[in-house]
């Protein structure tokens, strides 16, 4: 009901038209209408504003709802959003005043020449891996991790049996050393028919491997970590529930990154360990993947596997008291990169993705996802503010206020990322709304221009 229309604060009790005589309104309704007009004199103005801006106001809620509905499946239905958000992550990382360095991880690269000289069929030679583990232990590494496919196949019981036994001996020897040097192995997870995940059999049973310690109330288990990556490469997996090889209900399995980082802290008596920090515990408790910032491949200390095998002093010195991550950086028979993945910094071999994850955990550069409702509330609040300010913007000060609102999402994202150590995504709904409001302003400007022209012509 608008003041000054059907019922106004000064209207008569009965209004007529040439054709129809309206029935008198009840006294109680009239008193209520007059009371509303007296208490909220701008009620009519608000109603007219809603009527004029109904499309923009409705668009705010539609876009916010669409953004929320799409969030869980955007990697499948709108992969371009992941690319945009990855670039936004790069900008936030660049703007973060904190210095980021790869101070913990040295990558041992199994390159083309090393792999082809020492491969067993289509697999990396396990004798080669055993030799690299022994050399890393001799070089006084803190932890050794293998980003190598060790999924079991029939040839592991025949052709590769002796090579596998050699690798297992190297792992056990490292664990018996004083101080012990853990060797972390990669495991794979596969989707099962029930919609869950299951662990894939490795060449070694967990019972054959030395056990590594965990935080006091987290289960200790064999030194293995899953290497599956989420579709959104900004995400850093910590723990995932999957059915163990023994069957039964799903159990938490640590990622290669978390298992390696935790073993490094334990080896150097750093407290709390990676699994025991407040952000990590919160993410594990909520079953959430966190977000990690990326370093370029060139930022990591790396050595050639051949140089390490040949006893090069510089190669051995690069391993001292560090996480030694062994992985392939090579091409296949047709000249294509093997295990190459997209990241926020472009394509990168898988071993460097794991190196980034380990560094992010150890350097406490992980960002927790915010609760689901936070982006939704921010979208609606900023969206409504943009519509209101845009509709009323007439003076230069008003225009500056609108520009400030357009910049607000980026400011909020920066403060959350740098100061609150969390990641928030709400760019697309607000970006679409901004585009709509800009087009509305452009149309309004054109209409005013035409009105002035018509007035001048008259």
For 235-255, the pLDDT digits (tens) are: 889 998 898 887 788 888 899
Q: pLDDT > 90: what percent of the chain?
A: 28
Q: How far apart (Å, rounded) are the C-alpha atoms in residues 100 and 98?
A: 6
How many Cβ atoms are within 10 Å of 126's Cβ, its own excluded?
24
Residue spans of the domains in the chain: they are: 46-98+368-458, 100-364
For 408-442, the pLDDT digits (tens) are: 888 888 888 888 888 877 566 666 666 766 666 65
Omega before 347 cis (within 30°)?
A: no
Nearest to 198 by CA among 190, 210, 206: 190
Which residues are within 8 A (CB) of 451 and not within 5 positions of it... i.e. 6 or more apart? none
Mean pLDDT of the chain: 80
Q: Which of 216-225, 326-335, 367-376 has the lowest mean pLDDT?
A: 216-225
The more confidently predicted of residues 340 and 85 is 340
For 320-344, the pLDDT digits (tens) are: 999 999 999 998 888 889 888 888 8
Nearest to 270 by CA among 104, 134, 102, 101: 104
Confidence of residue 11 (pLDDT cuts 50, 70, 90): very low
Count Cβ atoms within 10 A of the Cβ of residue 304 and give its class: 0-12 exposed, 13-18 middle, 19 or more buried: middle
136-146 b/e (C-beta count within 10 Å ≥ 16 → b):
bbebebbbbbb
What pLDDT score does 105 carry?
A: 97
What pLDDT score does 349 carry?
A: 94
What pLDDT score does 85 carry?
A: 75
16: which strand partners? 21
- H or E stretch covering 327: strand 323-328
- Is residue 93 a contact partner of residue 311, using CB atoms and an 8 Å limit? no
For 178-199, the pLDDT digits (tens) are: 889 999 999 999 988 777 899 9
């Amino acid at each position: 009901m608008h003041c000054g229309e059907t019922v106004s604060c000064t209207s008569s009790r009965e209004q007529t038209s040439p054709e129809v005589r309206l029935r008198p309104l009840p006294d109680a309704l009239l008193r209520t209408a007059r009371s509303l007009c007296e208490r909220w004199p701008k009620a009519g103005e608000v109603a007219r504003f809603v009527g004029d801006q109904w499309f923009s106001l409705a668009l705010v809620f539609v876009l916010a709802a669409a953004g929320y509905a799409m969030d869980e499946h955007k990697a499948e239905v709108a992969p371009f959003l992941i690319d945009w958000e990855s670039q936004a992550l790069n900008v936030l990382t660049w703007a973060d005043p904190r210095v980021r360095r790869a101070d913990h991880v040295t990558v041992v690269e199994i390159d083309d020449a090393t792999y082809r000289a020492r491969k067993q069929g289509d697999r990396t030679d396990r004798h080669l891996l055993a030799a690299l583990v022994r050399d890393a232990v001799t070089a006084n590494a803190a932890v050794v991790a293998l980003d190598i496919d060790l999924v079991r196949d029939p040839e592991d019981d025949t052709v590769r049996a002796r090579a596998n036994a050699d690798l297992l001996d190297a792992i056990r020897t490292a664990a018996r050393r004083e101080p012990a040097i853990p060797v972390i192995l990669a495991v794979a997870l596969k989707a099962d028919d029930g919609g869950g995940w299951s662990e894939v059999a490795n060449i070694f049973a967990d019972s054959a491997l030395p056990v590594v310690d965990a935080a006091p109330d987290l289960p200790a288990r064999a030194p293995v970590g899953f290497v599956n990556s989420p579709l959104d490469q900004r995400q850093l997996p910590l723990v995932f529930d999957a059915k163990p090889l023994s069957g039964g209900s799903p159990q938490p399995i640590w990622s290669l990154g978390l298992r390696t980082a935790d073993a490094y802290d334990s080896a150097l008596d750093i407290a709390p360990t990676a699994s025991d920090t407040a952000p990590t515990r919160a993410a594990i408790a909520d079953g959430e993947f966190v977000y990690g910032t990326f370093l370029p491949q060139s930022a990591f200390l790396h050595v050639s596997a051949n140089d390490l095998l040949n006893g090069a002093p510089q190669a051995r010195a690069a391993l001292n008291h560090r996480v030694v991550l062994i992985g392939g950086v090579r091409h296949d028979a047709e000249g294509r990169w093997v295990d190459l993945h997209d990241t926020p910094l472009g394509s990168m071999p898988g071993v460097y993705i794991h190196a980034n994850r380990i560094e992010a955990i150890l350097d406490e550069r992980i960002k927790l996802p915010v609760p689901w409702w936070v982006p939704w509330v921010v979208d609606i609040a900023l969206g409504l503010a943009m519509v209101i300010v845009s509709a009323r913007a007439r003076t230069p000060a008003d225009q500056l206020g609108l520009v400030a609102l357009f910049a607000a999402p980026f400011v909020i994202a920066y403060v959350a990322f740098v100061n609150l150590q969390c990641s928030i995504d709400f760019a697309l709904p607000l970006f679409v709304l901004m585009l709509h409001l800009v087009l509305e302003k452009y149309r309004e400007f054109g209409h005013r221009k035409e009105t002035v022209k018509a007035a001048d012509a008259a």
